[in-house]
Amino acid sequence: MERQQEPRHPRGTAARVLLTSVFGPYARDDEYGSRAINPMELYHNQVTRAQDVFSLRMFHRSWGLMLIQANLEAPCTLLDFPTLSRFVQELRTRTYDVVGISGILPNLGKVARMCALVRQHQPQATIVVGGHVANVPGIEQHVDSDHVVRGEGVSWFRRFLGQDPQAPIRHPLIVSAIDARTMGLRLPAGRGDTAATLIPSVGCPLGCDFCSTSAMFGGKGRHVDFYRTGEELYGVMCGLERALHVRSFFVMDENFLLQRKRALALLERMRAGGKSWSLLVFSSANTLRLYSDEELVGLGLTWLWIGLEGEGSAYDKLRGADTRALVHRLQGLGIRVLGSTIVGLPEHTLENIGPAIEHAVAHDTEFHQFMLYTPIPGTPLYRQHEQAGTLRPDVPPADTHGQLRFNYVHPHLAPGSETELLLRAFRRDFEANGPSVLRIARTLLRGWQRLKGHPEPRVRERLRRECRGLATSYAGGLWAAERWLADNPGLAARLHEVRLAIAAEFGWWSRLAAPLVGRFVLLALARERRRLESGRTYEPPTFYEANEGARASGGGRPARARWVPVEPVAD
């Protein structure tokens, strides 16, 4: 973060603030940097992109902006996923003293355009640019802004507006996913159906050379805690539980389990409070080895995002780890795993990339992210390529997202070959392991069979909740997929086997439900196929939310905010 100048806005907490993400539409190619291959859908973008109608499609809000807004006393309006015309309309109809724009590297062109529009329509406004785009070398030459904030934005904005930067963090109410759909069907989005997002810390002290998130918040040895103790976290989670009626939490912390003391203190409070919560977390491999099965089950770990990177890769977090055995152990506890593998590590060649992909696929994780090894500005890997003169200036920022091409000269892979290799990895994973959303059924069943007699009632309750749809929705989904994917007999047989195992566990009800639900799912799959073939893409809705101060200030009336600050509370 830039601290040298310690800038202050003269109006302090009276300043009228607009925070905005970059404009859409996103899932198309355009001159501002939108790319059809890089939609605003995390899973479809880089996890299930080759899974056709089975791809998991959903959007996630701009959580960083929501967190900043929740912690400002100044009147603050948040415009999330605007179109360009909606952004211009906002600039024409309301007056702002500060406009904060957040983006990632591929958004550079959009950020530049938005800054120019602010200058045109609101020349009095101070423009602040943040997010990963802030690390673009010489960004000041590309965008006309007043401040570029590198790193954590809450304390920067608080300082800028004359608030106490060290004050306790108010946690916004965030529903983790929006408009989720798969297999042509919308996923339930009623009260409590979707996990709440919880943000305990940002950054990761392990500092892997390619990791832009770690670099963003200080790099190796550093991170930023918003909540230091298990007690504080527990209080925030109780607040989220009450306000959003949730019992599951998407824990947005790059390496949540690394802080073992905090995690175990949370576990203690969960046990004492009888909380049947589910936690969806990110963790590095070696960190997981610090926890017993009972601790992971007790914490309600149900979903885990883990970096597998590549067989024999030199990262400390993987040293000595047998990742296949680890994944198997976790799945035995009913924990669904999202493994992340890098394509294009320095040692990869055309000869060894095939076995490297097979190694990744053999993990048989529920979801698998494949990303190109990509130096992102701000990371040690970027500096290394910069010094070696191996960056490729002809690759525009809009194409530097890890799903299309290298932005540097790879030691062994010819330019352009990586595009096919990456796609090959996604396709091979789908061909071997099938639809991710149905792999979940197999792991849920394993967890159910292992833990349904667990001595803690809160664990049994969680299992019952998570496995509610196994005998019906999942059985029907499997029945439909067996038929849809009949041209891959090996895969269809695997799906069939899981369905039989579910029927054996849940009896006649499941046998009856599978073809009934399955016929309905088959129709939905066919409908989705037609949509996709007609060129249909999905875009997030625009959100327009004002805090108390902005609502009170009049001059246009934003829609009522969908967040309420949560103070840590004792249960």
Among 173, 174, 208, 503, binds ligand SF4 (CB under 6 A): 208
Q: How far is the CB of 223 from ligand SF4 (least distance, A)?
A: 9
Q: How far is the CB of 452 from ligand SF4 (least distance, A)?
A: 33
Give the contact letters, 80-119, x = binds to ligand SF4 (CB under 6 A), - = no. ----------------------------------------
Nearer to ligand SF4, 381 or 459 (CB): 381
Query: What are the tokens at 410?
Result: 């790879």
Nearer to ligand SF4, 306 or 480 (CB): 306
- Cβ–Cβ < 8 Å for 488, 431: yes
Interior/surface letters 395-434, b for 16+ CB within 10 angstroms, e for the rest: bebbbbbbbbbbbbebeebeeebbeebbbbbbebbbeebb
Q: Tell me the CB-side half-sphere exposure of residue 346, using CA atoms within 13 A.
A: 10
- Cβ–Cβ < 8 Å for 141, 127: no
Nearer to ligand SF4, 126 or 212 (CB): 212
- Cβ–Cβ < 8 Å for 561, 546: yes
Nearer to ligand SF4, 112 or 204 (CB): 204
Q: Which helix or strand (DSSP H or E) is residue 202 part of? A: strand 201-202
212 vs 383: CA distance, rounded Å? 12
Give the residue among 302, 367, 358, 481 at the shortest CA–CA distance from 46: 367
255 binds ligand SF4 (CB under 6 A): yes
Q: How far is the CB of 341 from ligand SF4 (least distance, A)?
A: 12
Q: Tell me the CB-side half-sphere exposure of residue 455, using CA atoms within 13 A.
A: 2
421 vs 360: CA distance, rounded Å? 13
204 binds ligand SF4 (CB under 6 A): yes
By rule CB under 6 A, what count of residues binds ligand SF4? 12
Nearer to ligand SF4, 42 or 500 (CB): 42
- Grouping H, G, I as helix, E, B as strand and the rest as coil, residue 1 is coil
Torsion angle of alpha carbons 60, 62, 68, 70, nearest 10°?
Answer: -40
Nearer to ligand SF4, 182 or 213 (CB): 213
174 vs 563: CA distance, rounded Å? 7
Query: Which residues, listed in sequence order, are joined to residue 343 by a DSSP beta bridge?
Result: 372
443 binds ligand SF4 (CB under 6 A): no
Nearer to ligand SF4, 365 or 547 (CB): 365
132 binds ligand SF4 (CB under 6 A): no
Q: How far is the CB of 203 from ligand SF4 (least distance, A)?
A: 8
Q: How far is the CB of 185 from ligand SF4 (least distance, A)?
A: 33
284 binds ligand SF4 (CB under 6 A): yes
The amino acid occupying position 322 is D
Q: Which stretch binds ligand SF4 (CB under 6 A): 168-176, 206-214, 500-508, 511-519?
A: 206-214
Place of tokens 């959100």: 543
Nearer to ligand SF4, 194 or 214 (CB): 214
Give 393's contacts (C-beta < 8 A, 6+ positions apart): none
DSSP string for 207-260: --TT-HHHHHTTSTT--EES--SHHHHHHHHHHHHHHH--SEEEE--TTGGG-H
Q: How far is the CB of 280 from ligand SF4 (least distance, A)?
A: 15
Q: Which stretch binds ligand SF4 (CB under 6 A): 61-69, 185-193, 211-219, 499-507?
A: 211-219
Q: Which stretch binds ligand SF4 (CB under 6 A): 200-208, 234-242, 399-407, 547-555?
A: 200-208
Q: How far is the CB of 212 from ligand SF4 (least distance, A)?
A: 8
Nearer to ligand SF4, 304 or 478 (CB): 304
Length of the chain: 571
Q: How far is the CB of 214 from ligand SF4 (least distance, A)?
A: 4
- Cβ–Cβ < 8 Å for 254, 203: yes
Query: What are the tokens at 360?
Result: 């990744």
Q: How far is the CB of 357 from ligand SF4 (least distance, A)?
A: 20
Nearer to ligand SF4, 21 or 287 (CB): 287
What residues line the site for ligand SF4 (CB under 6 A)?
204, 206-208, 211, 213-214, 254-255, 284, 307, 317
